[in-house]
Structure 1
Amino acid sequence: MSLVLPSELVVERFLPTVRGMLARRLADRGLTQQEIAANLGVTQAAVSKYVSGDPEGDDRFRGDPNTVATADRIAEGLASGDMDGYDALAELLSLVRQLEDRGPICELHEEEMPELRGLGCDLCVRGLDPDVRAERDVLATVRTAARTLASVPGMADFVPNVGTNVGMCLSEPHDETDVAAIPGRIYAIGGRIEIPANPEFGASKHVATAILAATDVDPEVRGATNIATDDAILDAARSLGIDPLEFDADYDDRCAHLRSRFDDRGSVPLVAYHRGAFGIEPATYVFGTTAIDAAELVEELIATASS
């Protein structure tokens, strides 16, 4: 029996194909060969071959709808600046997992190793640690939420002096290490939103505290973000049918205080705020089922407040 790893097929058959597809799409969008080479991590000579020569690779990938859609999405994102190398890599890794799960890579593997045919082989997807996958999904969600906040018109006006953050916890969290957020917080600089790093678990204290209090009362509420307390935002919430909850700022154990206030109300409010205290800047917490839900609600609140 010949031993062929699926990863060999990814490198030898899939990667040249998808690089060629991306090179042609990026060229169609006006990028120079030098820019394309920088984005794909190849030489300019390789890009020239991809763009001007006959398509390389395997036709089953070029004709695969998921591969075509992913190549289109990555090319558009890189060309517009809405996607960086991390995003593109995440898209490609997700695509590879799809193609390995009874997809073209699986078909190629069975051709290279006929002994696998008829076995319903799932070597590539069997045994994936569900905890690792859950963590990866939460990190990806927080990253998308942060980018959502950064794209909200006027968001810079509602970022507190100490910065904002957005986070999400794993299901059944135990402490702050089960909450993913942006290290160093998100800041407004010159009217722009700066996201200093990719999300990590245990990177937040204040937003994590609010999330842990919320999910303890309602396990469905796992995401939150904080913005500056502003009467226009609170009025916008009320106009959207949301009843903001005010709480005290100067409790030593804010998690316990928030949990108590949520218990008193009988639910977790979508918006909770305080007016500050000595040495404590006023803050408003916006909650959601996920971090993306919380970020999208902030977007809606700001748009309503600005209208």
Structure 2
Amino acid sequence: MALVLPSELVVDRFLPTARAMLATRLAERGLTQQEVAAELGVTQAAVSKYVSGDGGGDDRFRDDPETVATIERIADGLAGGHMDSYDALTELLALVRSLEDRGPICELHEEVMPELRGLGCDLCVRGLDPDVRAERDVLANVRTAARTLASRSGIAEYVPNVGTNVGMSLPDPRDETDVAAIPGRIYAMGGRIEIPAHPEFGASKHVSTAILAANAVDPDIHGAINIATDGDLLAGADTVGIDPLEFDAEYENRRDHLENRFEDRGTVPRVAYHRGAFGIEPATYVFGSTAVDAAELITELLSVVHDR
């Protein structure tokens, strides 16, 4: 893994672009190249390159509305005499902090360090916050669970037409934004499943309501996966000592309905299902302490079914 600090990207990619943009704006406002060089702390030759368009830089910053607005504001201030170098530096530092918060700098960082993709990295903004660690761990768990399913042969047969999703909540979840899942769901294609994107918080209302209902009854349950209802799979659950819970497919509020059924049972079963209704595809939820736990149970049930 290549360790690249965001500050390296600021120096190598952002700063040359900002200087080139600012040099051009100051020249447009009537400053000579020598005056621009003095304002920016660079040589006149460098300013000449910037103004001619040969100064390099990154279009991501040139096209970023916030960057453009800040550079215009600094150029107006320096050219008009109501902003000094300290003020300009303050503006640029505030801009860098903003661009590191899921902005172009963050995007560049994920490109040069692919290991950061899908982790919802907020290190530049929030540092080693324990909440950030928890979010990262949940996102990583959902990603691993999805890959576990994708690697299991025969899983495509159990993906419903509406798609499958893998979800996991943070500790003490309040609502759907505390549950991470795969945006756009997972669909079967050509006998295998495709994972369309990295997990995100708030990406699935469908699986998150099931997790929130389960967690309200059993705080140790944080993960769930929805699959198609299948008689052999339910029989496999019986084989491994799980008593699946059947619930009504027609309900006004899935979360309330499931929570009530779990409370009636007195526990959250590892497997809960319905057999569908008019316009409603049969669905089964497999629960676990984590998303990976739920995925491993599904692979175990598939093994039981295929060994029969």
Deviation, 1:259, is 0.5
Q: Indicate the residue corresponding to 1:175 in structure 2.
A: 175
Whole-Å Cα distance in 2 between the matches of residues 250 and 87 of structure 1? 46
> 2:142 — aligned with what?
142
TM-superposed deviation, 1:206: 1.2
Q: How does 1:40-79 map to 2 (within 5 A)?
A: none
Does 2:288 align with 1:262? no
Residue in structure 2 matched with residue 110 of structure 1 by the alignment: none
Which position in structure 2 is the counterpart of 1:33?
A: none
Q: What are the Cα deviations for residues 94-135 of structure 1, in whole angstroms up to 9, with x where unaligned?
A: xxx9xxxxxxxxxxxxxxxxxxxxxxxxxx9x9611111111
Gap change, CA 1:132 and 1:276, over 3 Å in 2:
same
2:305 match: 305
SS of aligned partner of 1:198: coil
Which whole-Å CA distance do the structure 1 matches of 2:112 and 2:265 have between them? 41
Q: CA deviation at 1:8?
A: 10
What is residue 78 of structure 2 aligned with on the other side? Answer: none
Structure 1: distance between partners of 2:114 and 2:301 = 30
- Cα distance in 2, alignment partners of residues 152 and 7 from structure 1: 37
- Matched residue, 2:68: none
Q: 1:279 to 1:264 in 2, by over 3 A?
A: same
**Letter of the aligned partner of 1:161 in structure 2?**
N
* 2:172 partner letter: E
State how far apart, in whole Å, the 2-side matches of 1:203 and 1:236 are. 30
Is the alpha carbon distance of 1:298 and 1:10 closer, same or farther for their aligned partners in structure 2, counting shifts above 3 Å?
A: farther
Other structure's SS at 2:262 match: helix
Write the letter of the residue equivalent to 2:255. C
The whole-number CA distance in structure 1 between the counterparts of 2:194 and 2:114 is 20
> Residue 241 and residue 86 in structure 1: after superposition, are their counterparts in 2 closer, same or farther (change >3 A)?
farther
CA distance in 2 between partners of 1:169 and 1:7 (Å): 30
**Distance in 2 between residues matched to 1:154 and 1:203, nearest whole Å:** 26
Number of aligned residues: 198
Structure 2 residues not aligned, in runs of 5+: 10-110
Query: Which amino acid in structure 1 is aligned with residue 272 of structure 2?
Result: A
Which is higher, the Rg of structure 1 or of structure 2?
2
| Partner Cα separation in structure 2 for residue 167 and residue 273 of structure 1 | 17
**Secondary structure class of the residue paired with 1:257:** helix
Displacement of 1:185: 0.3
| Matched residue, 2:273 | 273
Q: Does 1:222 align with 2:248?
A: no
TM-score by length of 1: 0.60
The alpha carbon displacement at 1:10 in A equals 10
Report the equivalent of 2:154: 154
Residue 278 (structure 1) shift: 1.2
CA gap of 1:281–1:88, structure 2 versus 1, over 3 A, is: same
Inter-partner Cα distance in structure 1 for 2:7 and 2:199: 31
Q: Residues 87 and 243 from structure 1, CA distance in 2 versus in 1: closer, same or farther, beyond 3 angstroms?
A: farther
Q: Residue 283 of structure 2 corresponds to which residue in structure 1? A: 283
2:300 and 2:192 mapped to 1: Cα distance? 19
Q: 1:162 to 1:7 in 2, by over 3 A?
A: closer
**TM-score normalised per structure 2:** 0.60
Take 1:187 and 1:10, find their aligned partners in 2: how far apart are those partners?
39
State whether structure 2 residue 234 is matched by structure 1 residue 234: yes
Q: Please name the residue that 1:89 is paired with.
A: 115
- Superposed displacement of residue 277, structure 1: 1.0
* Aligned CA distance change for structure 1 residues 10 and 300 (closer, same or farther; 3 Å): farther
Shift of 1:88: 6.0
Using a 3 Å threshold, how does the CA distance of structure 1 residues 10 and 211 change in structure 2: closer, same or farther? Answer: same
SS in 1 for 2:242: coil
- Residue 86 of structure 1 deviates from its aligned partner by 10
SS in 1 for 2:184: coil
Amino acid aligned to 1:140: A
Q: How far, CA to CA, are the matches of 1:268 and 1:291 in structure 2?
A: 15
Deviations 1:118-157 (CA, angstroms, capped at 9, x unpaired): xxxxxx9x96111111111100100000000101110000
The Cα of 1:249 is off from its aligned counterpart by 0.9
Identity percentage over the alignment?
A: 69
1:254, distance to aligned residue in structure 2 (A): 1.0
RMSD over aligned Cα atoms: 2.6
Distance change >3 Å, CA 86–CA 168, structure 1 → 2: farther
Q: Report the Cα distance in structure 1 between the residues aligned to 2:5 and 2:214, rounded to whole angstroms.
A: 42
Written as runs of structure 1 = structure 2, the 5 A alignment for 1:180-199 is 180-199=180-199
